Amino acid sequence: MNVSRGVFQDLQSHFKVTESQAAGALSGFKLGVKDLFDIAGFPTSAGNPHWLETHSIPKATASSVNKLLNAGAQLVCKTLTDELAYSLNGINYHYGTPTNFAAPERIPGGSSSGSAAAVSCGLVDIGLGTDTGGSVRVPASYNGLFGLRPTHGMIAMDNMVALAPEFDTVGWLTRDLATLSAVAQVIFKDTLVERFNSTPQQLVYFKPELQDGILWPNESKLTSSWQSCLPRVDLTDEVVLTQEFLTFASQTYRTLQGYAAWQVHGEWIEKTRPVFASDIAERFDWCSTITEAQQQQARCDQASIQAQMNAWLPTPSHVALLPTTPGAAPLLNSSAEDLASYRNLLMGLTALAGLTQRPQLHLPILVDQGAPWGMSLFGAPQSDCQLIALATQFLEKWHG
């Protein structure tokens, strides 16, 4: 196990691309798969040795993985995940912390930390992960990668370890947009995403209000050129996402996620009494206290957030641009208290996609404190491929 490169299991010698697969759209691409996805004949640890000890070896492979393998991708490894995917830090108490190769003094971000590290160091081209509360978007931002959280429900979640099924999605990270797009063409085949045909026409700037004011990279050399680099899209509005709204969204999401996570894992936790990192243990302890009445209130609050988002982005042609994270990844030597405080800010930004089931595409186009940072395109449900096409236009004009 090469933790620094994000590897939990080396599988390359076990999987060979067949002649028919070699003609597929992903032939020549190397694949790393987060250790939440079942691979037939190989154990799934979900980032926790007690899970590994108490679960049998899978007999079936996740269909999302099979789609990529059948398209010619070469499976190289299973990659490390935060315990049961319930963290955004990328720090695994049991197995170690993958290296953030773009900023080695900073955390890699989780829970798809291993997939991010494996892509960043060049071990694989495609890092398959999951995104429940930001677990693809956050490591993409911290490691300078492209990353997509798809429209919820568009990619099957069979033969996987769940966290909160109403928010769980399959996502992926890549070093370039062309590879991300190639995966999208394979994994979205025969879904509503493939049939979505609205073209982005109107851009809305979502400007979050955090503790130190409005989070918008005005000092970035990229800022003055954004609008001119987005062809056929008109800037129509700016929306300040108030601190009150972001806190409300974060609290709503955390309650719904926590309630769902306890429904999935509570019985196993109470029976097995697994050892978790202290922050994850505290999180599950809190999950066990969430009442059905609190969950029902959060469900009502979610509906109000969805209505507000529909008012800001009223048609399929509306696309929002927003910072993916509050900035560069926290330092590895950050205190537990500082990481917890940062998480509260972060969740306000990442909760929006989950609560509204919309796709979000991270673009690594900014730098903060000498480390990676970026912006996201946030669109209508099923507009995943249109977001990728819009981002391609943006980057082609930028680099052209």
Cα atoms found within 13 Å of the Cα of residue 203, Cβ hemisphere only: 20
Mean pLDDT of the chain: 94
Which pLDDT score is estimated for 219? 52
User: Catalytic residue among 64, 112, 135, 317, which?
Assistant: 135
Residue-wise DSSP of 63-106: HHHHHHHHTT-EEEEEE--SGGG--SS--BTTTB----TTSTTB
pTM of the model: 0.95
From CA 249, how far away is CA 270, in angstroms rounded? 29
pLDDT tens per residue across span 256-298: 999 999 999 999 999 999 999 999 999 999 999 999 999 999 9
User: 269 in a domain, yes or no?
Assistant: no
In the predicted model, what is the mean pLDDT of residues 39-53? 98
User: 103 in a domain, yes or no?
Assistant: yes
In the predicted model, what is the mean pLDDT of residues 80-106? 98
User: Catalytic residue among 64, 111, 250, 383, which?
Assistant: 111
User: 236 in a domain, yes or no?
Assistant: yes
Q: 114: part of which helix (H) or strand (E)?
A: helix 113-120
Residues 103, 69: contact at Cβ < 8 Å?
no
- Catalytic, 111? Answer yes
Residues 3, 49: contact at Cβ < 8 Å?
no
- Catalytic, 34? Answer yes
Which pLDDT score is estimated for 127? 98
* Strand, coil or helix: 305: helix
In the predicted model, what is the mean pLDDT of residues 79-107? 98
Poorest-confidence range of 61-65, 120-124, 331-335, 369-373? 369-373
Evaluate if residue 316 carries a pLDDT over 90.
yes
pLDDT tens per residue across span 336-345: 999 999 999 9
Q: What is the token pair recorded at 18?
A: 């067949």
Evaluate if residue 400 carries a pLDDT over 90.
no
Residue 207 CA to its chain's centroid (Å)? 20
Which pLDDT score is estimated for 230? 58
User: 240 in a domain, yes or no?
Assistant: yes
Which pLDDT score is estimated for 399? 62
* Domain interval for residue 77: 3-249+288-399
The dihedral over CA atoms of 253, 258, 259, 261, expressed in degrees to the nearest 10, equals 120
Evaluate if residue 226 carries a pLDDT over 80.
no
Task: Enter the DSSP assignment of 392.
Answer: H
Evaluate if residue 64 carries a pLDDT over 90.
yes
Specify the CATH number for the domain of residue 238. 3.90.1300.10
Give the model's confidence band at 223: pLDDT under 50 very low, under 70 low, under 90 confident, else very high: very low
Evaluate if residue 231 carries a pLDDT over 60.
no
Evaluate if residue 235 carries a pLDDT over 70.
no
User: 261 in a domain, yes or no?
Assistant: no
User: 171 in a domain, yes or no?
Assistant: yes
pLDDT tens per residue across span 146-189: 999 999 999 999 999 999 999 999 999 999 999 999 999 999 99
User: 44 in a domain, yes or no?
Assistant: yes
Give the model's confidence band at 218: pLDDT under 50 very low, under 70 low, under 90 confident, else very high: low
How many separate helices (H) and strands (E) can be counted in the chain?
11, 12
More confident residue, 37 or 18: 37
Looking at this protein, which amino acid is placed at residue 46?
A
In the predicted model, what is the mean pLDDT of residues 21-25? 89
Percent of the chain with pLDDT over 70: 94
Which pLDDT score is estimated for 314? 95
Evaluate if residue 229 carries a pLDDT over 70.
no
Percent of the chain with pLDDT over 90: 86
User: 282 in a domain, yes or no?
Assistant: no
Evaluate if residue 214 carries a pLDDT over 50.
yes
Evaluate if residue 202 carries a pLDDT over 70.
yes
Number of structural domains, the chain? Answer: 1
Evaluate if residue 247 carries a pLDDT over 50.
yes
Which pLDDT score is estimated for 200? 86
In the predicted model, what is the mean pLDDT of residues 203-224? 77
User: Catalytic residue among 30, 34, 67, 78, which?
Assistant: 34
